[in-house]
Amino acid sequence: MKKGSSRENVKIGSSVGIVLKQDKRSGKITRGIVKRILTNSSFHPHGIKVELDDGRVGRIKEIYPKAPQ
């Protein structure tokens, strides 16, 4: 699993683990598929902010490998 702090590691359609704003304190990871990349800079120390395909928004903590087809 790669770190989600670098925008070059994040692709639309990637399977990722994010921390939602309300889960920042607990650090609870929510899994989903990236629909939109919201961070414009190439690096963010707390993780690139993305919108998942279900509409939830958070910062990437984990990027999961693609499942074999």
The domain that holds 16 is classified in CATH as 2.30.30
The three-state DSSP-derived secondary structure of the chain is CECCCEHHHCCCCCEEEEEEHHHCCCCCCEEEEEEEECCCCCECCCCCEEEECCCCEEEEEEECCCCCC
Q: Is residue 42 part of a domain?
A: yes
Q: What is the pLDDT of residues 19-69, one digit of tens each?
A: 999 999 999 999 999 999 999 999 999 999 999 999 999 999 999 987 655
- Report yes or no: 47 and 5 within 8 Å, Cβ to Cβ: yes
Q: Is residue 45 part of a domain?
A: yes
pLDDT at 17: 96
pLDDT at 3: 78
Q: Is residue 33 part of a domain?
A: yes
Q: Is residue 38 part of a domain?
A: yes
pLDDT greater than 70 at residue 8: yes
Residue 5 or residue 2, greater confidence:
5
Q: What are the structure tokens assigned to 54, written together?
A: 């279900």
CA atoms within 13 A on the CB side of 60: 33
